[in-house]
Amino acid sequence: MPNTQNQISPLRVGIAGLGTVGIGVIKIITQHAEMLASRTGRTIEISAVSARSKGKDRGVDLSAYAFEEDPVALAKRDDVDLFIEVIGGDEGPAKDAVVVALQAGKDVVTANKAMLAIHGHELAQLAESKKVSLRYEAAVAGGIPVIKSLTEGLAGNKITRIMGVMNGTCNYILTRMEETRQGYNALFNECAELGYLEADPNLDVGGIDAGHKLAILSSIAYGTQVDFSNIHLEGIQEITLQDIEHVAEMGYKIKLLGVTQLTENGLEQRMTPCLVPASSPLGQLSGGTNMVVIEGDSVEQVVLRGPGAGEGPTASAVMGDVIDIARGIHLPVFGIPAEQLSKAQPASCTAPAPYYLRIPLHNKAGALAQMATALGDCDISIAHLHQYEDEFDAAKASVLIVTEACSKQALQTALGKMEGTSVLAGTPIAIRIEAV
């Protein structure tokens, strides 16, 4: 139960950042005040807010709250017990203000995946040295309570693998390519027009944003210091409509899939396009929805699905953390004390898997044989092969292959051997088939 003092004193929050998420949080706190008081045993009050522009109409009445132009000033205020950071950015005002708030002994709730993926360990050490909470449910997979499920609900499990589709924009592009039969560039432009892309689109389509989220999940799952720099990142820019249609015929979908697993070779963290069975929960995920699959030695597999972004869902996740803090729930930032988090040992190689290959060949005698020889020399067996002529250029052909399980290293060696011959008419594409 919350202690007697908590039942009496209100929790006073300061909100830095008045974009959609900040406004969403204000709406929940004001519109559901009675419900929140009932659920937490105390009232939650907004003392002060911070944003770059005070005057802008944001559709909610902010006149009852003190206003600070500088989030650092907000973080220092005596009437703020809990600092909510929804500014964004891994450096600059967001991080400065979070550090100041933690140093001042205030609890912090943030939605900032980049900051946590890059500076999470140092911030966890700071928070724990000050015996305050640093919470970040909204940083991963929007409204899905995945941090809580992993850190608490499934904490009796040795986690064996986590997989996630955690960038709605990428999944929107990939599923819309298939639905509309348009190419990557057309869908990229559609996303730009719809405002679905970050200011730096590479954060989305390059897999960086989703990679930040994966790094955070890895740390909790394996008790390691968050290690974004060792995530193997590949974006979706090279995926063609042809790839999507070919794999569909074989019963697969292409997803930008994050995978983290601790193998005998070390911690494997990948955020890359993967093939998954069309009939699997991951394969059936379309549009901007997110999904995280958590596998543990006891629970087997739990699948969590929900909106990955947006005002309401992200504010819901922020409020989950705020409510925990109001209820007096405090946990180590990454599930175990930061001082016990081990340094991640990046995997020396990737676990074997079957791959989908698209190999553009010159349409001449012996080309297929040379390609097949390159694979065979590297001990890569072919499970399926389909060759078809280029629609527009009879001198070219594409060979589509599904291999048996092989190592990525062997595959790269084989592709290197092909490049040493004159048979390739373009750059081969290799996409891992993840067993889900």
Q: Which residues are CB-contacts of 389 (< 8 A; sequence separation ≥ 6)?
A: 363, 396, 397
Distance (Å, whole) CA 137 – CA 359? 42
Determine, following the binding rule CB under 8 A, whether residue 339 of this chain makes contact with a second copy: no
Judged by CB under 8 A, does residue 233 bind a second copy?
A: no
Tokens standing for residue 343: 């340094």
The pair of three-digit structure tokens given for residue 48, joined into one six-digit string: 């002060």
Q: Does 1 bind a second copy (CB under 8 A)?
A: yes
Quote the Cα angle for 269-217-192, to 5°.
80
State how beta strands 66-68 and 82-85 pair: unpaired
124 binds a second copy (CB under 8 A): no
| Two structure tokens written together for 136 | 């970040």
Q: How far apart (Å, rounded) are the C-alpha atoms in residues 241 and 407? A: 26
Token pair for 274 = 């993967």
Site for a second copy contains 335 (CB under 8 A): yes
Q: Which segment (36-44, 347-355, 393-401, 414-422) binds a second copy by CB under 8 A?
A: 36-44
Q: Which of residues 205-224 bind a second copy (CB under 8 A)?
A: 223
Site string for a second copy, 271-290 (x = CB under 8 A): --------x-x--x------
Is 213 noted as a catalytic residue in this protein?
Answer: yes
Among 61, 63, 78, 131, binds a second copy (CB under 8 A): 131
Nearer to a second copy, 216 or 424 (CB): 216
User: Closest Cα partner for 21 from 318, 315, 288, 308?
Assistant: 315
Give the residue from 141, 333, 315 showing the smallest Cα distance to 219: 333
CB of 63 to a second copy, least distance (A): 23
The contact mask relative to a second copy for 136-155 (x = CB under 8 A, - = no) is -x-----xxx--xx--xxxx
Rounded least distance, CB 286 to a second copy, Å: 9
Write down the catalytic residue from 76, 213, 253, 255.
213
Q: Which of 315, 361, 402, 425 binds a second copy (CB under 8 A)?
A: 315
Instruction: State which residue, 225 or 350, has the beta carbon closest to a second copy.
Output: 225
Residue selected from 180, 189, 265, 301 as contacting a second copy according to rule CB under 8 A? 301
| Residue 185 in the binding site for a second copy (CB under 8 A) | no
- Give least dist CB 132 to a second copy, A: 9
Q: Does 308 bind a second copy (CB under 8 A)?
A: no
Does 102 sit near a second copy (CB under 8 A)? no
Residue from the set 104, 186, 302, 372 that interacts with a second copy by CB under 8 A: 302
Residue 329 is a binding residue for a second copy (CB under 8 A): yes
**Binding-site ranges for a second copy (CB under 8 A):** 1, 24, 28, 32, 35-36, 38-39, 41, 128, 131, 137, 143-145, 148-149, 152-158, 223, 279, 281, 284, 296-307, 310, 312-313, 315-320, 322-324, 327, 329-332, 335-337, 340
Supply the residues annotated as catalytic: 213
